[in-house]
Amino acid sequence: MNTPFDDLPPPPRKPRRLGGLRASFLTGLVVIAPVGLTVWLMWTLIGWVDGFVLPLIPAQYQPEQYIGINLRGVGVIIFLIFTVLVGWIAKGLIGRSLILFAESLVNRMPVVRSIYSGVKQIAETVFAQSERSFEKACLVEYPRKGIWAIGFISTEARGEISEKAQTDSEVLSVFVPTTPNPTSGFLLYFPREDVIELEMSIEDAAKLVISAGLVYPDQKKSEETRKKAGD
C-alpha cells in the first residue's frame, strides 16, 4: 500500500562544488591571514617610526623636499643611521666621558634618576648582547598543585633571595609568561626539584604559549634535539 508521501520526490542534494569552494576559501584564508597580518604590522610599525622621527628633522632637510613624495620608511632609515652613529660614538673615549657626565647630572635629579635607571636596566637586559637570555623551557606547577604551566628558566637565585628561601636545594628563577602576550608574566622562584626541564627549544615553547596550545613543536625537531643532547 502506498502512502501519500511515497510519490514525493527525494530532497535535493547540496552540490559538492559549494563544499569544495568552502574548503578552498578556508585554505586560502589560512595562507593569506599570517602574511597579511605580518605585512600590516610591519607597515604600521614603519609608519609609527616615521611619524616619530620625521617631525624632529627641520623642514629644509626633510627628505620629501628632495624626493618629491612622502616615501614611507625614510624615517626608519634615518633612525637606524642615527642609532649606529650614536653607538659608534659611545664606544669611544669621548663618548663614554660624555655619557658618564650626562648620567652624573641625571643622578642628581630625584625623580628623573629613578625613571632613567629603570629604563636603562630594561634596555640593557633586552638589547645588550652580553646579557644572558633564558636558559631552558620548563614545566612548573602553577598557580597550584596539579596545574602545569610553561616557564623559562633564567638564572639561579642569588643573594638575599637564595639565603632566605626556605628550601634545602637550589632555587631557580622562572619566568612564567601569559597567553597570547609572552612579554608579560610572572617572575617566580622554585626549588630545583620542582622544575621539570623540557627538551623543546625556547622558540618552540614561545610558539606554544603565543598560540594558546595550538602549535606544538615538530616531533622530528624534538627527536633531533634529543639525539644531540645524547651525543
Q: What is the 3-state secondary structure (H, E, C) of 25-61?
A: HHHHHHHHHHHHHHHHHHHHHHHHHHHHHHHHCCHHH
Residue 75's alpha-carbon distances to 85, 91, 157, 211, in angstroms, are 15, 24, 42, 33
C-alpha triplet 223, 150, 155: angle, nearest 5° = 95
Percent of the chain surpassing pLDDT 90: 16
Q: Is 84 a residue whose pLDDT tops 50?
A: yes
- Cα 192 to Cα 117: distance, rounded to the nearest angstrom: 32
- Cα 125 to Cα 26: distance, rounded to the nearest angstrom: 42
- Cα 74 to Cα 219: distance, rounded to the nearest angstrom: 43
Interval 4-15 mean pLDDT: 55
* 194-226: pLDDT as tens digits: 999 999 888 889 888 888 888 877 655 555 555
Residue 209: Cβ within 10 Å count: 23
* 63-79: pLDDT as tens digits: 777 777 777 888 888 88
Tell me, what's the pLDDT at 5?
A: 47
In the numeric block, the cell 637564595 is attached to 162
Which has the higher per-residue pLDDT, 180 or 43? 43
Beta-bridge mates of residue 186: 176
At 156, list the grid cell.
639561579
Tell me, what's the pLDDT at 131?
A: 44
At 170, list the grid cell.
637550589
Lowest mean pLDDT among 95-99, 159-163, 201-205, 221-225: 221-225
Residue 186's alpha-carbon distances to 25, 45, 129, 179, in angstroms, are 40, 27, 24, 12
* Amino acid (1-letter code) at residue 227: K
* 10-64: pLDDT as tens digits: 555 555 667 778 888 888 888 888 888 888 989 998 888 888 888 888 877 777 7
Tell me, what's the pLDDT at 137?
A: 92
Determine the distance from the C-alpha atom of residue 200 to the mean position of all C-alpha atoms in its chain, rounded to a whole number.
Answer: 17
Q: Is 127 a residue whose pLDDT tops 80?
A: no
Q: Is 130 within 8 Å of 112 (Cβ atoms)?
A: no
Residue 101's alpha-carbon distances to 95, 97, 98, in angstroms, are 10, 6, 5
* Amino acid (1-letter code) at residue 92: G
